[in-house]
Chain A
Amino acid sequence: MTDSIQARFQSFTQTHVAPLASRHDRLQCIDPELVGQLAAQGYLGAIISEPYKGLGLDMPTFGLLNYELNKSCTAVRSLVTVQNMVGRIIERWGNAEQKDQWLPVLAAGEKIAGFALTEPEYGSDAAGIRTCFTDHGDTFAITGTKKWISFGQMADLFLVFGQAEERLGCLIVEKDTPGLSITPISDILGARGTMLAQLEFDACSVPKENLVTNLGFGLHPVAFTGLDLGRYSIAWGCVGMAAACLEASVTYASERRQFGSCLKDHQLIQALISDMTVDIKAAKLLCEHAGRLAETNDRNAMQEMLCAKYFAAGMVNRVTAKALELHGANGYAPEQGIERFFRDAKIMETIEGSNQMMQIMIAKYGIQHG
């Protein structure tokens, strides 16, 4: 069953995503036609349940989708990640009206969503965010700045995190709301197709019914519901990227000859390939384990997601670096895609919680639970 679904994901990505990956990186945007194709496959609502017109994939299968997408293109995987993060938050914590209004359109890809938590002065310290929700009776006026928002350039709506008199919360904000201005961020090192933007809210007025759950206690469970899924999705994406680099490396080592024999026959090259293989397998096992626990609502799922993300982000940096080495000068040229994965890999150590944040949370959990 899973094999045939994975074969479907693979066939789609090889046909529709892989040929565009380098262009997404170069032009720093995602082909709009591909967004329609992703929507037609249901991938933009992969994790949204069937009553809301999503695919209702289980966590292990959602992992495989991320793996296959990122084997070709980080930006496309990232689009699917963010859309599903927002969908999952609304499905888990939204009220009936919010679910009815937003989930079917997100699942159908009629609206693209952004997750707006980070601010210029508050990244890892997310609880410190300063974006302000001022109470005006039936509405909140949002004032503040969000930075590094994936797909901020193309999103139709944002889940915006902020605080009302020190009580944290989040609001659904549509792109055309007066008082919201969006500025593209370009030329970052990697994940260049993710169409980042900075969002400025200047007394941007939003109806109170757009508040997702209650102010105060609600923020952490809400943000975590999204970030947890984001981490899982990224971890699988890292495994996909690394697997692509390994496959390219094996092919290259079988074709490229130096000193009268193929690279693959040199034992130091075999060492590179063996290290890459083991590293990838280990990360994949962590991802599979985290997915299984999440699917059964196991209490340790959150911790296992952190472990998977932390290990996979490190792993993909080791593997892409080895793949570059193995390819020699050809690796640095854009044609092979290795240099793109090498740049994308670095980003994975920062997003959805940096390496250090992962370490802090994993250690805390380990110390508390023995």
Chain B
Amino acid sequence: MSDVKSKIRQFLTKYIEHNNFNDDDHLFEKGYVSSLLAMEMVVFVEAEFSIQVGNEDLNLDNFKSVDAIAGLIIKKTDN
């Protein structure tokens, strides 16, 4: 889990100039990332963790924070 989260943070820090955000911070509501990053997030999650994000996963709740993204990845890799 911590390995997954650190990869996610590494990806996000390319877009968020400061690195002081918490794993449960709502990235969109806090204005850290624009919605334009959404596609890049999907591409990153799929390529980095070899999973396929499906129609049912394409939900803000799955991408709103480091915790949420990690949760989605764990769920998809367990399946």
Specify the chain B residue showing the minimal Cβ separation from A224. Answer: B39
Query: Shortest distance in angstroms between A303's beta carbon and chain B's nearest beta carbon?
Result: 10
The contact of B38 among A212, A221, A302, A369, by CB within 8 Å, is A221
Q: How large is the interface on B (under 10, 10 to 19, 20 to 34, 35 or more residues)?
A: 20 to 34
Tell me if A214 counts as interface (CB < 8 A to partner B).
Answer: yes
Contact A217 B46 (CB under 8 A): no
Contact A220 B60 (CB under 8 A): no
Specify the chain A residue showing the minimal Cβ separation from B59. Answer: A214
A residues 299-314 touching B (CB-CB < 8 Å): 299, 301-302
Tell me if A297 counts as interface (CB < 8 A to partner B).
Answer: yes
Specify the chain A residue showing the minimal Cβ separation from B41. Answer: A221
Whether A93 contacts B55 in the complex (CB less than 8 A), given A221-B42, A302-B43, comes out as: yes
Specify the chain A residue showing the minimal Cβ separation from B54. Answer: A93
Q: How large is the interface on A (under 10, 10 to 19, 20 to 34, 35 or more residues)?
A: 20 to 34
The contact of B47 among A220, A221, A299, A369, by CB within 8 Å, is A299
CB-based A-B contact count at 8 angstroms: 54
Contact B46 A127 (CB under 8 A): no
Query: Shortest distance in angstroms between B43's beta carbon and chain A's nearest beta carbon?
Result: 6
B residues 43-68 touching A (CB-CB < 8 Å): 43-44, 46-48, 53, 55-56, 58-60, 62-63
Tell me if B35 counts as interface (CB < 8 A to partner A).
Answer: yes
Whether A95 contacts B43 in the complex (CB less than 8 A), given A217-B38, A368-B14, A369-B14, comes out as: no
Contact A221 B39 (CB under 8 A): yes
Q: Cα distance A218–B38 when bound, in Å?
A: 8
Specify the chain A residue showing the minimal Cβ separation from B48. Answer: A299
Whether A217 contacts B14 in the complex (CB less than 8 A), given A297-B46, A299-B43, A302-B39, comes out as: no
The contact of B58 among A93, A297, A369, by CB within 8 Å, is A93
Contact A220 B14 (CB under 8 A): no
Contact B55 A221 (CB under 8 A): no
Q: Cα distance A301–B62 when bound, in Å?
A: 23
Tell me if B36 counts as interface (CB < 8 A to partner A).
Answer: yes
Enumerate chain A residues within 8 angstroms of B35, measured Cβ to Cβ.
Answer: 127, 168, 217, 219-220
Enumerate chain A residues within 8 angstroms of B62, measured Cβ to Cβ.
Answer: 217
Q: Cα distance A94–B56 when bound, in Å?
A: 9
Contact B14 A214 (CB under 8 A): no
Known interface pairs A212-B55, A214-B60, A298-B47; 10 further A-B residue pairs with C-beta atoms within 8 A, sorted by A's residue number = A93-B55, A93-B58, A94-B55, A168-B35, A217-B38, A217-B62, A220-B39, A221-B53, A302-B39, A302-B43
- Nearest first, the 3 closest Cβ-Cβ pairs linking A and B are A217-B60, A220-B38, A224-B39
